Amino acid sequence: MTSEPTTHWTIKDAAALYGIDAWGKGNFGLNAAGEVTVKAPFVSGEIAVPLTEIVAGAVARGHNMPLLLRIENLLDDRIRLINETFRAAIADVGYRGEYQGVFPIKVNQQCQVIKEICRFGARYHLGLEAGSKAELLIALASLPEHGLLILNGYKDREFVDLGLWANKLSYRCFFVIESPAELPLIIERSRALGIAPLLGVRVKVSAKVGGLWTETSGDRSSFGLSPTQLIGVVEQLKNEELLDCLQLLHCHLGSQIPALADIRTGVREASRFYADLVREGAPLSCLDLGGGLAIDYTGTLENQVHSRDYQLADYCHTLVATIAATLDPLGITHPHIVTESGRAMIAHSSLLIFNILDTMHFEAEPFPKTLPPDAHPATGQLFTLFKHLADTDDLIATYQGALAGRDTLRELFRGGEINLRERSLAENIFLAIAQHIASRLVALTTIPAELAGLKANLADIYYGNFSVFQSLPDTWAIGQLFPVMPINRHLEAPTREAIISDLTCDCDGKLDTFIVAGKEQSTLPLHPLRDEEDYLLGVFLMGAYQETLGDLHNLFGDTHVVSIRINEGGGFDVLNELNGDTIAEVLSFVEYHPQTLFEAFRSRVEGAVRAGRMSVAERQQLVEEYAANLNGYTYFEQ
Ligand SMILES: *Cc1c(COP(=O)(O)O)cnc(C)c1O
């Protein structure tokens, strides 16, 4: 449907509508030409490069849409920002420990990403957190010397052995004990290999936090030790004369925690655990507070699941000050503070760009000003409603009357009492009524509940060349919101209201919740398509968790990935290009052998030649096309 007409549309209106200055702060913005830019900070000033230029560079290198774009500068900057902000908070509070960050590999395991994290993180001694054997293998081959390695998750003998050997490779490798059953194995292997372990204990913090991911904390969390188990582990370590190995206390309150007050409560409780373990004689030196630092996806800075009611500086200050305030009265030395911020470190640096293939409109086609003489009385009633729209004030009654009229006419059609042409006329009259009512709702401050769904029901469908399940799985699985907006044309008012549907044949494959002007809305204002011109949408801040959670629904595979670095002198370099999955690759993931498929198809075509249905030249063309498709992209290609 169309949205309200705006006479003097400016870039400011576009920025306010899509919220880009709020969620994109410092990283994304709009330029005078109405294009979304990526902004990279340099000592000499900020360089802004339009996304359209970057996309053109990728397309020129043979990477069509959809495309995952990684911007190295943004990752570099985020690592710097988190570390420097903690340092500033430490200086401000007069805290006597240091800050040490750790990147949890599960948040984005992609090889290129881990490499960049280790490279940019080196100046801050950024460590890694591994939660499985596969992640441990990545860490052991990636982490710079003397790096901090935190091992969570289930630990079998191989995992424990590798972790112990890691200490000989100069790493400071902590086994975080999540259940009392893990300790005997670690002790046994440590004695067998003659390598003393570094140990941490994960505690269950009872303070509940808000957000979409709350199950990681509280009594019923499947992770961490209860107070009784904690005492048991300490006793066991004392008996084995290994208490000096226990140097770290770990807790993880959850991911994307929206309220700073919840974080403060959790940190206070963790600090109390820390204090009492020290008083039990454990030589603790690190307090690891896990992840949870949220991203303000909506840009609204509020206590709701897709946002947060604090800035990075508030988070850092709260952690540092709360630990100090809890430990100081007890005379306990300030620990080094470790955090495992994954989302906050990586989300900004990736965005998905896809083109719109087609649109569907739900609006009335022009219909005659008078009804045909043989029209059914029910059509006549609907038409009368339409003609009196301008004089009615009761929009609810009119809409309900129109709905009832349309239902009646649909029933008459099913019963064979009206024909296809009259049904079509009735549907058009109904749409015209609905559109009129929707246009009058714009002026209302509160929309009556009876009319609440009207706008969404009239929204256009924009068909996007991407798969929600492959590229944005959390939008489907848990209703996660990401900022979505066109990457250019912001000098024009977006005159359509739309939802976005993906390529999969699945009614869940869509984006239908957006943040528009700071509010959750069921439709997104977009521009009408133009002939011969791609309309490109960007999904922003999606670098955390999406890539490996994505699946092969309808056999849409990985998208192309292009990593770029913005240069201080302007422009950008393409650093790394990864081709998306080919159809053959995706088929082999589900146990087909592309070669066998090809041969089976070829012999079928040969059969058609034998039967005289096809010439040899046609056979050759078809066989070549099949082969080309096997090696092609799984997405729509122009
Ligand atoms: C998932 C996880 C994290 C990352 O949390 P974010 O909210 O992404 O920062 C950190 N630590 C542990 C133990 C985790 O399981």
* Tens of pLDDT, residues 148-196: 999 998 899 999 999 999 999 999 999 999 999 999 999 999 999 999 9
Q: Is 342 in the pocket of ligand 1 (CB under 6 A)?
A: yes
74 inside domain: no
State the pLDDT at residue 211. 80
Helix (H, G, I), strand (E, B) or coil at 633: strand
Domain count, the chain: 3
Q: Is 152 in the pocket of ligand 1 (CB under 6 A)?
A: yes
- 496, two tokens: 């359509």
Ligand 1 centre to CA of 96 (Å) is 25
Q: Are 170 and 260 in a shared domain?
A: yes
Please, where are the H alpha helices in 442-553? Answer: 454-458, 468-471, 473-477, 546-549
Q: Are 383 and 336 in a shared domain?
A: no
Using only the alpha carbons of the chain, give its radius of gyration.
30
Q: Are 198 and 310 in a shared domain?
A: yes
Helix (H, G, I), strand (E, B) or coil at 11: helix
Ligand 1 centre to CA of 105 (Å) is 9
State the pLDDT at residue 210. 82
Confidence label for 214 from pLDDT (cuts 50, 70 and 90) = low
Best CA proximity match to 502, nearest among 564, 561, 553: 553
Cβ within 8 Å of residue 507, ≥6 positions away? none
Taking CA 123 as the corner, what is the angle to CA 117 and CA 128, rounded to the nearest 5 degrees?
40
Please, where are the H alpha helices in 303-394? Answer: 312-327, 343-346, 377-387
Confidence label for 444 from pLDDT (cuts 50, 70 and 90) = confident
- 130, two tokens: 């591994």
Q: Are 99 and 221 in a shared domain?
A: yes
**Tens-place pLDDT, residues 529-547:** 999 999 999 999 999 999 8
Helix (H, G, I), strand (E, B) or coil at 2: strand
213 inside domain: yes
Q: Which of 100, 129, 340, 545 to probe ligand 1 with, by most ligand atoms within 8 A of CB?
A: 340
Domain end, chosen from 405, 421, 455, is at: 455
How far from the centroid of its chain's Cα atoms is residue 273's Cα?
33
517 inside domain: no
Is 0.85 surpassed by the pTM of this model?
yes
Q: Are 264 and 393 in a shared domain?
A: no
Ligand 1 centre to CA of 188 (Å) is 29
Q: Which of 255, 295, 545, 548 to probe ligand 1 with, by most ligand atoms within 8 A of CB?
A: 255
pLDDT (average), residues 292-318: 97
State the pLDDT at residue 219. 66
Q: Is 290 in the pocket of ligand 1 (CB under 6 A)?
A: yes
**Tens-place pLDDT, residues 113-161:** 999 999 999 999 999 999 999 999 999 999 999 999 999 988 999 999 9
Q: How would you classify the pairing of strands 460-464 and 510-511?
A: unpaired
Q: Is 341 in the pocket of ligand 1 (CB under 6 A)?
A: yes
Q: Are 400 and 311 in a shared domain?
A: no
Name residue 85's amino acid. Answer: T
Distances (CA, A) of 383 to 387, 402, 430: 6, 9, 9
What's the CATH number where 327 sits?
3.20.20.10
State the pLDDT at residue 217. 62
State the pLDDT at residue 19. 97
How far from the centroid of its chain's Cα atoms is residue 207's Cα?
27
Q: Is 200 in the pocket of ligand 1 (CB under 6 A)?
A: no
Q: Are 326 and 420 in a shared domain?
A: no
Domain of residue 219: give its range. Answer: 95-340
Name residue 216's amino acid. Answer: T
Domain end, chosen from 286, 321, 340, is at: 340
385 inside domain: yes
191 inside domain: yes
Domain end, chosen from 455, 488, 513, is at: 455
Q: Are 209 and 294 in a shared domain?
A: yes
Taking CA 379 as the corner, what is the angle to CA 378 and CA 381, rounded to the nearest 5 degrees?
65
How far from the centroid of its chain's Cα atoms is residue 298's Cα?
12
Residue with tokens 């809409």: 399
Name residue 604's amino acid. Answer: R
Quick one: 142 exposed, middle or buried, by C-beta within 10 A (0-12, 13-18, 19+)?
A: middle
Ligand 1 centre to CA of 272 (Å) is 21
Q: Is 255 in the pocket of ligand 1 (CB under 6 A)?
A: yes
Cβ within 8 Å of residue 95, ≥6 positions away? 89, 320, 323, 324, 334
State the pLDDT at residue 629. 96
13 inside domain: no
Q: Are 316 and 391 in a shared domain?
A: no
Ligand 1 centre to CA of 232 (Å) is 26
Q: Are 256 and 391 in a shared domain?
A: no
Q: Is 288 in the pocket of ligand 1 (CB under 6 A)?
A: no
Best CA proximity match to 329, nearest among 289, 284, 264, 272: 272
Query: Taking a C-beta distance cutoff of 8 angstroms, is the pair 368, 140 a contact?
Result: no
Percent of the chain whose predicted confidence (pLDDT) is above 70? 98
pLDDT (average), residues 26-48: 95
pLDDT (average), residues 78-90: 98
Flag whether pLDDT at 6 surpasses 60: no
State the pLDDT at residue 206. 87
Q: Is 263 in the pocket of ligand 1 (CB under 6 A)?
A: no
210 inside domain: yes
d(CA 477, CA 489): 31
Backbone angles phi, psi at 180, to 5 degrees: -60, -25
DSSP-derived secondary structure for 121-165: HGGGT-EEEE-SHHHHHHHHHHSPTT-EEEE-S---HHHHHHHHH
Q: Are 260 and 323 in a shared domain?
A: yes
Q: Is 252 in the pocket of ligand 1 (CB under 6 A)?
A: yes
Mean model confidence pLDDT for the chain: 95
603 inside domain: yes
State the pLDDT at residue 222. 66
Flag whether pLDDT at 447 surpasses 90: no
Q: Are 189 and 297 in a shared domain?
A: yes
DSSP character at residue 451:
G
Of 56-60, 73-77, 441-445, which range is least confident?
A: 441-445
**Tens-place pLDDT, residues 230-278:** 999 999 999 999 999 999 999 999 999 999 999 999 999 999 999 999 9
Percent of the chain whose predicted confidence (pLDDT) is above 90? 90
